[in-house]
């Protein structure tokens, strides 16, 4: 009989490799969402599209929660403040952020919108100065400036010819909402008193209800084709319910630093997928800006996560 201690290192290594593969697979799913959304928006109104996606995904996640007694019991005895925070989190992260994401992709190229959303870690870092009293280090300040310069290069010359101003405004709103949801999500999850599946399922259910209601109230809904329903169900089941479940499972094995670095691979993936499937080709100067922003954002995320881990030790 093989001793447990002899096989533990090998099992641990294999478990870590599986977790890395799972997390990378999730980033591929999430990156492909930009392409699938662009295709779906040709026939499906943006807010209704988003509402259907997250409503179906939330039903799946709630089913998973209710089917597991241990996880289901974590809902008992929760305070009004806890429910209120999840309500706010859902409204901002799902209703506002995801709603404006679908609207933004309706008006903007996937690469442009991805670039705007990738400013989120920089916005969060700057917002933490007045709200949390957290001052960035000299290295982080340089990285922030490098990221901003990368955005400037991408949009240079700043005449915005051929770029939807409405799309840029919606993109900026989505960026601010995404940054706010990151701060709220950090406040909720750092307590570590609730399974991440519960937090995701509850907040997504709340936000998707409002998102779907807004869509049905403001957009005409024509009969959807088989292809449209395929896009909706694929995003709901694979890119949302499955992706969040796999991501949460990977977080049990990998460090926050590892997850941050893996998540940073999304931007180049979106660029590559947009070139292949959407025919969006960045100019040479655009490439410099995209690479500069990707490096600065990835480095800022790494330093912030490492700092958080050190402060917990």
pLDDT tens string 135-152: 667 787 787 778 778 877
Under DSSP, is residue 225 helix (H, G, I), strand (E, B) or coil? Answer: coil
- Distance from C-alpha of 75 to C-alpha of 52, rounded to nearest angstrom: 25
Average pLDDT over residues 207-233: 94
| pLDDT the model gives residue 7 | 44
- pLDDT at position 6 over 50: no
| pLDDT the model gives residue 32 | 96
In the block, residue with structure tokens 């089913």? 63
Average pLDDT over residues 43-53: 95
- Distance from C-alpha of 281 to C-alpha of 3, rounded to nearest angstrom: 56
In the block, residue with structure tokens 């007045």? 130
Which region among 67-81, 98-112, 120-134, 207-221 has the lowest average model confidence (pLDDT)? 120-134
Which region among 140-149, 229-238, 275-284 has the lowest average model confidence (pLDDT)? 140-149
- pLDDT at position 227 over 90: yes
Which DSSP helix (H) or strand (E) runs through 219?
Answer: none
| pLDDT the model gives residue 147 | 78
- pLDDT at position 239 over 80: yes
- pLDDT at position 307 over 70: no
Average pLDDT over residues 269-280: 90
| pLDDT the model gives residue 10 | 66
Which residues are CB-contacts of 301 (< 8 A; sequence separation ≥ 6)?
A: 121, 260, 261, 263, 264
> Which parts of the chain are beta strand (E)?
none
Query: Comparing C-alpha atoms, which of 128, 105, 129, 120 is closest to residue 33?
Result: 105
| pLDDT the model gives residue 57 | 96
Query: Comparing C-alpha atoms, which of 110, 140, 139 is closest to residue 124?
Result: 140
Whether the full predicted model's pTM is greater than 0.85, yes or no, is no
Looking at per-residue confidence, does 42 or 8 come out higher?
42
Q: How does the average pLDDT of the chain come out, rounded?
A: 83
CA–chain centroid gap for 175, Å, is 11
Through-space distance between the first and last CA atoms of the chain, rounded to whole angstroms: 38
């Amino acid at each position: 009989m093989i001793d447990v201690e002899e096989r533990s290192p090998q099992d641990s290594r294999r478990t870590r490799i599986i977790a890395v593969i799972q997390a990378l697979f999730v980033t591929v799913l999430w990156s492909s969402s930009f392409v699938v959304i662009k295709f779906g928006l040709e026939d499906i109104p943006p807010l209704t599209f988003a509402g259907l996606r997250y409503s179906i995904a939330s039903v799946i996640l709630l089913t998973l929660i209710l089917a597991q007694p241990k996880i289901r019991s974590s809902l008992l005895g929760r305070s009004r403040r806890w429910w209120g925070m999840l309500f706010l989190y859902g409204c901002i992260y799902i209703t506002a952020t995801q709603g404006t994401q679908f609207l933004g992709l309706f008006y903007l190229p996937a690469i442009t919108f991805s670039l705007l959303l990738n400013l989120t870690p920089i916005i969060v870092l700057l917002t933490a100065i007045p709200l949390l009293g957290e001052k960035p280090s000299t290295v982080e300040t340089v990285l922030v400036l490098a990221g901003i310069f990368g955005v400037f290069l991408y949009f240079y010359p700043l005449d915005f010819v051929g770029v939807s101003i409405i799309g840029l405004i919606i993109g900026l709103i989505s960026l601010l909402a995404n940054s706010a949801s990151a701060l709220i999500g950090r406040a909720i999850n750092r307590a570590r008193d609730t399974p991440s599946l519960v937090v995701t399922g509850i907040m997504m259910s709340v936000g998707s209800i409002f998102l779907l209601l807004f869509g049905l109230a403001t957009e005409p809904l024509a009969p959807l084709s088989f292809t449209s329903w395929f896009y909706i169900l694929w995003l709901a089941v694979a890119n949302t319910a499955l992706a969040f479940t796999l991501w949460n499972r990977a977080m049990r094995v990998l460090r926050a630093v590892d997850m941050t670095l893996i998540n940073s691979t999304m931007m180049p993936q979106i660029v590559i997928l947009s070139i292949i499937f959407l025919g969006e080709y960045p100019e040479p100067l655009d490439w410099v800006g995209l690479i500069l922003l990707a490096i600065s954002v990835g480095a800022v995320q790494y330093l912030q996560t490492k700092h958080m881990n050190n402060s917990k030790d």
